[in-house]
Amino acid sequence: MDRNLQDVIDLLDLEQIEENIFRGQSRDIGTPQVFGGQVLGQALAAASRTVAGRFVHSLHAYFLQRGDVAAPIIYEVDRARDGGSFTSRRVVAIQHGAQIFNLAASFQAPESGLEHQTRMPSVAPPEELPDIVELAQGAAELPDRMKRFLNFRRPFIVKPLDPAQFLGGSRLKPTKRVWMKAVDRLPDDEALHTALFAYLSDYELIGTATLPHGLHATRFGLQMASLDHAMWFHRPLRVDDWMLFDLRSSNASGGRGLAHGHVFARDGRLLATLAQEGLIRERKPAAAG
């Protein structure tokens, strides 16, 4: 198993310290606070540890304040309901005695039913595209913040369809298509794959809202932070297979940006739908003198 991918898996393997109470650690991935996808994945992992025979089909989460990378995070799971078909869980993440995050998730036993889905767009296959590390190596100049950020992103391969969206500096349409997958093969554990997917889902989504403004989180003076995150899981998924993230932003206003998208398997199956609102504030340079 790739060492960096195993490190993410270890982060999601929470320590149980009491019934319904779990403790997770954090990793510095080059951002000034705990990566939002880590907290999302750990909270989902905590909820899943209290559910048997059912798998998450939707979750809704709020990021209340930034997490401290140097301190553990406590996850308290409320077993809200165990019904005949669905199970509901609420999770509160606590650090330094204060709530930093909360999540509501619903789980369902597998069953068959009516099916239809939106069609996957026609795009170049991932084998024909460079990943973000190759793009960074080919760029004339990159800020130290971006270089440091890239050094921590090797658990997953990220291949954007349009390199300009990654490099920043140009005003582009508020759409983004990216192939992503884990760097190594993973066990056949659906709960693990969904928790890793939750982790991965925070990589590229809200950055879509900066594209029309020619800005990039790691290149320009931006304050960006996740405010909420919603996900709907439509079909079983594997994060060690290529997935196409078809993302778009419908609005930016009031210091916030909204992004949403569909995630497809390589064979065209719609795996999940995502939505996220994030804080986006442009930092103004200090006045001379």
Is 85 part of the annotated catalytic residue set? no
Residues constituting the chain: 289
Catalytic residue among 106, 201, 202, 249: 202
Q: Give pairs for 107-111: CB < 8 Å, separation 24+.
A: 107/47, 107/48, 107/51, 107/54, 107/55, 107/56, 107/57, 108/54, 108/55, 108/57, 109/53, 109/54, 109/85, 110/55, 111/85
Indicate the SS3 state at residue 6: helix
Instruction: Look at residues 101, 96, 92 and name the one whose alpha carbon lies nearest to residue 35.
Output: 101
C-alpha 161/C-alpha 263 separation (Å) is: 14
Catalytic residue among 38, 48, 226, 249: 226
Is 276 part of the annotated catalytic residue set? yes
Classify burial at 68, counting beta carbons within 10 Å of its beta carbon; exposed 0-12, middle 13-18, buried 19 or more. Answer: middle
Residue-by-residue DSSP string for 170-226: S---SEEEEEEEESS---S-HHHHHHHHHHHTTTTTGGGGGGGGT--TTTSSEEEEE
Is 112 part of the annotated catalytic residue set? no
Check if the beta carbon of residue 154 is closer than 8 Å to that of residue 4. yes
3-state helix, strand, coil in the chain (%, to 5): 20, 35, 40
Indicate the SS3 state at residue 81: strand
Which residue, chain included where needed, has tokens 């403790």? 23
- List the catalytic residues: 202, 226, 276
